[in-house]
Every structure is written in C-alpha cells, then in structure tokens.
Amino acid sequence: MKSLDHITHIMFDVGGTLANDEPSYADGYAAMMTGLGYPATGADYRQASDAAKGDVEEAPREIDAFKVWREGYNRAIIRRLGVPEAKVEEVRAAMMKRFRYYSNAYAYPESRFVLRSLRWAGYDVAIISNIQPVLPDLLLDLDLMRYASFAIASDTFGAEKPDRSIFDEAIRLANVDPKNVIYVGDGIHPDVMGSSQVGMTPVLIDRGGRVTDEQLAEYGGFRVGNLVELLDRLGVDPWNEEWLHDPSRIR
C-alpha cells in the first residue's frame, strides 16, 4: 500500500462526495419546469443539458465571460426542453428565482466527522466544486465551511473540473506542492483525472462499489467506500481527539 506520510492537504468535491441532494438536481429542475407549464422529467433534463453543450461554444476561462457562457448554456437547456424562443428569457429568469439547489441538499452522515477529524489531525482542508453560485450558501447551510481553509466554485472561478486551471488555483491558494495533496471526489473524469493531471493523489469515493482499483491505477490513486475509510488510509484515529476524553463536555 502506497505511503501517505507526505500528505499535508486534503481537498474535496461536494456533490456526491461531502453532500447530496434529494430530489436530485435533475428532478428538481424538471419539477420547476413542469410547474412553469413545460412538463419535463429528470431524464429529459439530463438529455437536454448534454445536448445543449453542442449548442454553445466551449466555455471560456475568464470569469465574467464564463458567467455569460453559463447563461447561454442555461438558455440552450430551456430551448431543448421545448420552450419557444419568445419565452426563453422569461423562463430562465423564473427558474433563477425559484430554484434553490442547496435547499434540497444534505451532508452525508460522516462528512462533518471526517472533516473535523482531519483538521484535528493537522491536515489542511479545502473544497473545489462544480456546483453553481449557491456553493457558499450550501456550505454554510450544511455547516461544512467551518472546516475548510477555502472553497472554489466553478462559476465564480471561471472554469469547471476537470480543467486543470481550477486545480492549479487551489494549489496556489494553499501554497502547497501538489504531490502533498489528496483530492477526494466521486467522478473519474472531473475528479480523478482532473486532480491527477496536476500531480495530486486522487481518491475516488465509490459508495456504490462500481469501480475497481485497477480502473484507477493509471491515475495513481485509490478508492474508498465512504469517507471514514480515508481516515483509515491516512492512519488517523479520530477517537484520540482530546475533546472526546474531556469529562467537562458531558452534562
């Protein structure tokens, strides 16, 4: 087993890693569209969002230009869901007002425990997410930001994972050699491939047991079934935290 003694920083994805949403983003989006008079399902949204990528030019990296691109991409999704051109802007504005992704989100049971344990053990923690501009509210609502030195959201940065620039920015902010960083995410393409290309050690959170270690071998990473397993791989014993043995905390 590869030694992780050199690791000083642990960075995390959010959706599917530290938190999830119920109903899903796709189902929530579809429900909102249906409520506005344009019936859709989660499957319709996923198909439309994939197809819409071919309707707009490649996303730019400059922040303001990226925000303009995101609006154009959202309009393309709405068109793909059957909204006539004359109504596209009206529907987009209505969706922006109504849809609050983070209100449907919940943290996985072990997330706060693991983040707190990593900080107690001396690791620096940060977050890199492709979640849209609601990331600050999401992290505050779920009480995750208290454990992170910083968080980077794709929409405010101007690039999405797996673009290496968003990982490079995290390295710059942390002022760390990427070889000393683990990045934890639930996607092989955005998270494992994206982080490995800058020299981080990728860890795939694979709660469904759908990926083998061999599939990750080319990226130099490994997988865990839940976040607590990451503590085991790092040799962190959270039950040795001093506050757990402080009788003054028990009333």
Query: What is the C-alpha separation between 40 and 32, in angstroms, rounded?
Result: 9
Looking at domain 9-18+108-245, its CATH class is: alpha beta
Model confidence pTM above 0.85: no
Mean pLDDT over each residue of the chain, to the nearest integer: 88
Per the model's pLDDT, the better-predicted residue between 249 and 147 turns out to be 147
* pLDDT over threshold 60, residue 180: yes
Beta bridge partners of 223: 204
Q: Identify each DSSP E strand in the chain by its residue range.
A: 9-12, 19-21, 105-107, 124-129, 151-153, 181-185, 201-205, 222-224
Q: Are 77 and 52 in contact (CB under 8 A)?
A: yes
> pLDDT band at 28, cuts 50/70/90?
confident
Q: Are 184 and 205 in contact (CB under 8 A)?
A: yes
Average pLDDT over residues 24-32: 86
DSSP letter assigned to residue 15: B
Q: Are 197 and 177 in contact (CB under 8 A)?
A: no
